Amino acid sequence: MKNQNLFNRKSLKFFRSSLRNKSTSAEAELWNILKSKKLNARKFRRQHSIGNYIVDFFCASEKLVIELDGNPHGEYHKIEKDKKRDQYLEGLGFSILRFENRLVFQEPEFVKNEIRKTFKRKDPEFE
């Protein structure tokens, strides 16, 4: 599959836009942390599609996908669906981080540090 067909497929544009406009409070909170290169000068996108999947957050330079999980992901069929999705994305060379929604509010520094740990190029001012 060529990159031009892999990212932000036109057929998913409406769904990406809809998800951005109806983001959860946890997604909005994490976006405030990630947007405008606030976290170690890394550019993140939200509701970005890769293949037929729309991921919550994506950093192309780090090949990093971040997913926020609420209660629905605790159900067996959702867990299995997430596993299949993660295997597909990992097969393309992407790393996936998953956080429970509550951590974004209760432990934002932990979330930021876990994301930073995945960065390939380290920034001295943040170590």
Instruction: Convert the pLDDT of each residue in 31-60 to its tens digit.
Output: 999 999 999 999 999 999 999 999 999 999
User: What is the pLDDT, as a whole number, of residue 70?
Assistant: 79
45 with 32: CB under 8 angstroms?
A: no
Sequence-distant (≥ 6) Cβ neighbours of residue 99 within 8 angstroms:
30, 66, 67, 68, 69, 111, 114
Residue-level pLDDT, tens digit, the chain, 127 residues: 445 589 988 888 888 888 888 889 999 999 999 999 999 999 999 999 999 999 999 999 999 999 998 765 567 888 888 999 999 999 999 999 999 999 999 999 999 999 999 998 766 455 4
Question: Which phi and psi (to 5°) does residue 24 adopt?
Answer: -75, 165
CATH homologous superfamily, domain 3-120: VSR Endonuclease (3.40.960.10)
Q: How far apart are CA 111 and CA 108, in angstroms?
A: 5
Sequence-distant (≥ 6) Cβ neighbours of residue 21 within 8 angstroms:
none
Instruction: Please report, for the chain, the start and end positions of each structural domain, with discontinuous segments joined by +.
Output: 3-120
Q: How far apart are CA 44 and CA 36, in angstroms?
A: 8
What does pTM read for this prediction? 0.87
Q: How far is C-alpha 37 from the geometric centre of its chain's CA atoms?
A: 14
List of E strands, 1-127: 45-50, 53-59, 64-69, 95-100
Which CA distances in Å does 75 have to 52, 61, 65, 69, 84? 22, 32, 21, 11, 15
